[in-house]
């Protein structure tokens, strides 16, 4: 019986507590409402400010990564075509003229073409028939070139056996330039 009395006592306490809570449930007062509204406004403004900063940062990051990807693709194309060179005519430390294998758009086979690269403030590419003039171009491959000397012929420019090329390009929003560094032995000229 005691157990039963205890359970009734607990049930009675819970019921009384619930009755008190229902009686005191008056709603939200004006002072409470006036205190909460500025806090809610401050929270919403802070959330919007964070979102705005994140959105602007994302736009800058997207722009920077697009620029980097375009420059990487340009350097890769230049590197691939220069490695396939069968004849080379050094023009200066900023320009090189080569006969190389190029795969034209919508064709299955590569053909020999004359290609010229000039890298002053931007790296541009011209193309033409193997023994003719340059008929198409310029096509910009790499923008914002920082270094004045891009092509280096080794051991000398009269009879080179190796061509090194280095492009330092700035990307908007980056503190340091991106460096593309490569080189190739003139195997195709040497008959190897």
46 inside domain: no
Between residues 13 and 152, the one the model is more confident about: 152
Average of pLDDT values for 134-140? 86
pTM reported for the whole predicted model:
0.63
Domain that holds residue 133: 69-190
153 inside domain: yes
- What is the total count of domains within the chain? 1
Location of structure tokens 């007062």: 29
What is the C-alpha radius of gyration for the chain, rounded to an integer number of angstroms? 36
Res 45: pLDDT: 94
99 inside domain: yes
* 42-55 confidence digits (pLDDT tens): 999 999 999 999 98
* 140-163 confidence digits (pLDDT tens): 888 888 888 888 888 887 778 888
Res 1: pLDDT: 41
* 63-87 confidence digits (pLDDT tens): 778 878 888 888 888 888 888 888 8
86 inside domain: yes
Q: List the one residue out of 18, 37, 21 whose CA is nearest residue 29.
A: 37
Of the chain, the end-to-end C-alpha distance in Å amounts to: 107
61 inside domain: no
162 inside domain: yes
134 inside domain: yes
In contact, 122 and 142? CB cutoff 8 Å: yes
* 156-184 confidence digits (pLDDT tens): 877 788 888 888 888 777 778 888 888 88
Phi-psi region of 133 (alpha: psi -120 to 50; beta: other; left: phi over 0): beta
* 106-119 confidence digits (pLDDT tens): 778 888 989 999 98
Res 142: pLDDT: 86
19 inside domain: no
Secondary element (H or E) of residue 24: helix 2-24
Sign of CA dihedral 99, 93, 145, 137: negative
* 24-42 confidence digits (pLDDT tens): 656 667 888 888 899 999 9
């Amino acid at each position: 019986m005691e157990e039963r009395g205890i359970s009734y006592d607990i049930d009675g306490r819970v019921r009384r507590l619930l009755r008190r809570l229902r009686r005191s449930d008056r709603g939200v007062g004006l002072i409470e409402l006036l205190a909460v509204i500025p806090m809610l406004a401050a929270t919403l403004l802070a959330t919007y400010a964070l979102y705005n900063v994140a959105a602007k940062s994302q736009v800058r990051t997207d722009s920077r990564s697009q620029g980097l990807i375009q420059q990487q693709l340009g350097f890769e194309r230049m590197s691939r075509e220069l490695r396939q060179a069968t004849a080379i005519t050094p023009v200066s430390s900023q320009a090189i003229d080569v006969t190389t294998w190029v795969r034209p758009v919508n064709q299955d086979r590569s053909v020999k073409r004359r290609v010229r690269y000039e890298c002053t403030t931007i790296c541009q590419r011209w193309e033409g028939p193997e023994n003719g003039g340059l008929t198409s171009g310029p096509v910009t491959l790499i923008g914002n070139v920082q270094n004045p000397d891009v092509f280096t012929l080794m051991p000398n420019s009269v009879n080179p056996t190796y061509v090194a090329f280095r492009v330092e390009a700035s990307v908007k929003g980056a503190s340091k330039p991106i460096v593309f560094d490569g080189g190739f032995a003139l195997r195709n000229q040497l008959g190897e």
